[in-house]
Structure 1
Amino acid sequence: MSEVPLLDSPRRGSKFYLGLAFFITLIALLSIGAFKINAWLEDEQQAPVQNIVVSGDRRFIDDAEIEALVKRTQPGSFFELNVDETHKTVQGLPWVYRASVRKRWPSGLEIFVVEQTPAAIWNSDMLLNKNGDVFNAQISDPAVVTELKLPSLYGPGGSEQTALQGYKNMQSLLDSTNLHIVEMFLSERFAWNVQLNNGIRLNLGRIEFIDRLQRFVDLFPLISEQDKQVDYVDLRYDTGLAVGWKSAES
């Protein structure tokens, strides 16, 4: 039997090399395209965060401060912006109690904040929120402090929640009168001293301070009838109290 020559072998080889060349060209084009797309995404001028929207009830939080902080700490493009890191940054601001952050396509950022609720001034230079947590923020406008009527509480470190709860319990008792606490001192031994808005200082001691305050409330109308101005009232007795009167010169 005679052999038939394979006349189409060169054609098959040509197709193989053409296919290989096409494949290599396609891979090169895809690589170039991917590189350019990545470069575009990383280019802040091509895809910056253009619109930062801050929402939530707020009085002391400065929206412009948050926007500047985000742009300073996350200077890259919209696609590069790290939501988790931005959340930590925003929630680290003194007046922010809680925050949530999410991207909004194509170039926006939405930030929802829950503001701290100040309940008292703590040791003259910090604030306590309604839960008794310290936050290091100051209200710059004294008129705002007056409007909020924040009491000044003093106590050793770590006693913040005890001091605030004690203040709340005592003020609740005083709400039936025209008296309110303007300053309260909790000593290292956890003895309670308060100053009222009428200038009277109360020494309540360490134990049964609510019962002792109730004794003062009950006897205050009688004390007020005296033709003297009260300086302090010492309630550290099982029964009764001691009253210190202001001198005529004062």
Structure 2
Amino acid sequence: MWDSHRSLNFVSNTLLLTAAAALIYTLVQHYGLPRFLPLKTVYIQGMQDERAELNYITREQIEKIMQRHVQGNFLSIDLIAVRDAFIHLPWVRDARVERTWPLALNIRLEEHQPLAHWGSHALVNTYGEVFRTVLDEKMPVFTAPMEVNSQEITRRYRQFSQALAPLQQSIAEINLSSRHAWRLHLNTGTVLELGRHEVEKRLLRYVSVYHHSIAPLNDDKPLAYVDLRYTNGFAVYMPETGKPMKGKQTSRKET
């Protein structure tokens, strides 16, 4: 056995590991666990860009989590508990916590980027995900039945916004009714009734005829309401009277 080079290496490595473990145990017993390999630095950074500033997560929230969950030394800190604490903050979409040498903790946070209000008690981020907090900023409002996927509303919002861009009109509110009929409130004050079917086609028709068929009806001033639920036409309501005017209504009204 002792003539075997491989066996000698195994024995020597085992003795070294045993000695190292004994040394670590002695140091921990003598100095105490928190004083052995103490944590020196904690880095708080953005998930995608290390230099990006956090816009919604507050210093007070971070300090509270640090005091409660960053306990022990470099080796004993519970990384999962620290991550979970950050994940539960309303504005945190994702969090990663890693040990980095020498004796540092690297915490990367991804904030929700708000796109719209979801009703009156939540927000929608740029991924179309709903998160529960409020923000006193002017943004589009999405309203829809509870069973509707917020990502579908977000997809439609981007689709509709792109269609309206040539008119320099934007969406102030999207409403999807319980019957799944679409209604858009524009920044001009005009309401567009799109109905349930062929909604993109109807909106594109509105854009294509706006300058020569819709805007002149009220001397280029915004109309109160445009009903696009017709095969090849529309009906408009004037803002002063609230009375309907027909425009290019060549076929029956649909849903």
TM-score calculated relative to the size of structure 1: 0.74
Within 5 Å, give how 1:77-92 maps onto structure 2: 77-92=73-88
Cα drift, residue 91 of structure 1? 2.4
Amino acid at match of 1:206: R
CA separation of 1:186/1:91 partners in 2, compared to 1, >3 Å: closer, same or farther? same
Cα drift, residue 48 of structure 1? 5.7
Highest Rg: 1 or 2? 1
Cα drift, residue 55 of structure 1? 0.9
Query: Which digits, 9 at most, give the CA deviation of each residue in 1:217-248, with x for residues without a partner?
Result: 12221221124651101111112011111225
SS in 2 for 1:226: helix
Contact 1:41 1:77 in 2 (8 A): no
Amino acid at match of 1:219: V
- Counterpart of 1:112 in structure 2 is 108
Q: Distance in 2 between matches of 1:231 and 1:128?
A: 28
Cα drift, residue 39 of structure 1? 6.8
* 1:60 equivalent in alignment to 2:56: yes
Moved more, 118-127 or 78-87: 78-87
Amino acid at match of 1:130: T
- Counterpart of 2:98 in structure 1 is 102
Q: Distance in 1 between matches of 2:55 and 2:147?
A: 28
RMSD of aligned residue pairs (Cα, Å): 2.8
* 1:173 equivalent in alignment to 2:163: yes
* 1:153 equivalent in alignment to 2:145: no
Q: Distance in 1 between matches of 2:218 and 2:197?
A: 31
- For structure 2, the residue ranges without an aligned partner over 5 or more in a row are 1-20, 47-51, 243-255
Q: Distance in 2 between matches of 1:64 and 1:209?
A: 46
* 1:204 equivalent in alignment to 2:194: yes
TM-score calculated relative to the size of structure 2: 0.73
Q: Distance in 2 between matches of 1:156 and 1:100?
A: 34
- For structure 1, the residue ranges without an aligned partner over 5 or more in a row are 1-29
Query: Which digits, 9 at most, give the CA deviation of each residue in 1:97-131, with x for residues without a partner?
Result: 22211124565321112222222111122111122
Identity fraction in percent:
29
Moved more, 233-242 or 83-92: 83-92
Cα drift, residue 61 of structure 1? 2.4
Contact 2:65 2:82 in 1 (8 A): no
Aligned length: 212
Q: Distance in 2 between matches of 1:50 and 1:65?
A: 21
CA separation of 1:47/1:163 partners in 2, compared to 1, >3 Å: closer, same or farther? same
